[in-house]
Amino acid sequence: MSITPYLTHHAFEPEIIETMSAAFVAACDALCLKIGADPAARFVAEKVIELAQRGIRDPDILRKMTLKEFGLSDESASVGSVNRVRASASPAARLANTFCC
C-alpha cells in the first residue's frame, strides 16, 4: 500500500513518494499496524511525511527514524517489544500499540 492517501495538501516527486511508501509500509509492519484498517497508521504516515519534508530521502533511514519516534529501534521492532512500547510516555506510541498484534 502507498502513503498516497495521506498526502493531502503535500506535493512530492514520484520517486520520493515511492521512498516514503516503502518506509511507511515497513514501519507499519514493525508496529503491527494494518494500513487502511488501523487509525494509528495515520500517525506513522504523518511522521514519515514530516521526516521527508526535512529532506530525509533514504527509505531505511525514514523507517528507522519513524520507529524511533514511536519508541522502537530495529532490534525492538517485534511482537516482543509491545509491552515496552505500551509503557512509553508517547501518546502516539500508546495509540499505535492499541491496535498492535
Which residue ranges make up each domain of the chain?
A: 4-98
Mean pLDDT across 70-95: 54
What percent helix, strand, coil does the chain show, rounded to 5? 60, 0, 40
Q: What is the pTM of this model?
A: 0.73
Confidence of residue 28 (pLDDT cuts 50, 70, 90): very high
What percentage of the chain exceeds 70 in pLDDT? Answer: 72
The pLDDT of residue 58 is: 95
> Which cell numbers in the block locate residue 42?
495515520
Confidence of residue 9 (pLDDT cuts 50, 70, 90): confident
Backbone φ, ψ for residue 86 (5° rounding): -60, -30
The pLDDT of residue 88 is: 45
Residue 54, number of CB atoms within 10 A of its CB? 8
Q: What CA–CA distance (Å, rounded) separates 26 from 10?
A: 21
Confidence of residue 77 (pLDDT cuts 50, 70, 90): low
